[in-house]
Chain A
């Protein structure tokens, strides 16, 4: 396994369901991110974790709940979502302290809320 791995790649859930997205990075990085990508809109940052500590919550509704048990794993717990939450959810990682702090993305999890 290399890079940033996300599972599942596709998820369909009802508005009353509870599900989780999983992300694992194999790059030895110390920061992880969740971004949301909706059609025809720029990528929106949701959460940032630096050394397992959440350093940014970009006014994300509480129906999205992140968890970072260690610097290699990141979860996004989903509950009582709305149809407008349907989007591509991208996990990413970077090495804070490196010049540029380049962010590397996973392939994304396509979420459809019905």
Chain B
């Protein structure tokens, strides 16, 4: 059965303090690893899809990378508005299997 584990559960950063979130997965034949951002009381917002080891994607202060066993979401010089829960998911057939998420808080 596919498994997705995210770490840390929660992360507190000062504004400008770069860091990384981890998503480790076990899946037979990866057909896509997805990152979402979720603000309190709202639905998840799609950020990135990665398909193969070595692939990288960027959007503003976020950069997602992928290896054969894990993905990292790097946050460079974060701002308070980057505070949210970041969710990772892998494709299993016609559905996504999600991790529990990392709650990020960026203080000014």
Q: B41 within 8 Å of A by Cβ?
A: yes
Partner of B95 from the list A6, A48, A104 (CB cut-off 8 Å) is A48
Establish whether residues B32 and A104, one from each chain, have CB atoms under 8 Å apart when the complex forms: no
The A17-70 residues at the B interface (CB cut-off 8 A) are 31, 33, 40-43, 45, 48, 50, 55-56
Complex contacts, B41 vs chain A, CB 8 Å? 108, 110
Establish whether residues A101 and B94, one from each chain, have CB atoms under 8 Å apart when the complex forms: yes
Complex contacts, A103 vs chain B, CB 8 Å? 34, 46, 96
Q: A75 within 8 Å of B by Cβ?
A: no
Shortest Cβ distance from residue B97 to the other chain A in the assembled complex, whole angstroms = 8
- Could you count the A-B residue pairs with CB atoms below 8 Å apart for me: how many are there? 59
Partner of A50 from the list B87, B94, B98 (CB cut-off 8 Å) is B94
Question: Interface size of B by Cβ–Cβ distance < 8 Å?
Answer: 24
* Cα-based distance from A108 to B36 in the complex (angstroms): 15
Q: B42 within 8 Å of A by Cβ?
A: yes
* Cα-based distance from A43 to B91 in the complex (angstroms): 13
Contact A48/B94 with A102-B34, A105-B43 known, Cβ cut-off 8 Å? yes
Which 9 pairs across A and B sit closest by C-beta, in order of nearness? A105-B43, A43-B98, A42-B98, A100-B49, A100-B32, A107-B43, A42-B100, A105-B44, A108-B43
Tell me what chain A mostly uses at the interface: helix, strand, loop, or mixed: strand
The B83-100 residues at the A interface (CB cut-off 8 A) are 87, 89, 91, 94-100
- Residues of A bordering B, CB below 8 Å: 4, 6, 31, 33, 40-43, 45, 48, 50, 55-56, 90, 92, 96, 99-108, 110
Contact with A along B28-47 (1 / 0, CB 8 A): 00011010100001111110
The B65-108 residues at the A interface (CB cut-off 8 A) are 87, 89, 91, 94-101
Complex contacts, A99 vs chain B, CB 8 Å? 51
Complex contacts, B4 vs chain A, CB 8 Å? 42
Establish whether residues B100 and A41, one from each chain, have CB atoms under 8 Å apart when the complex forms: yes
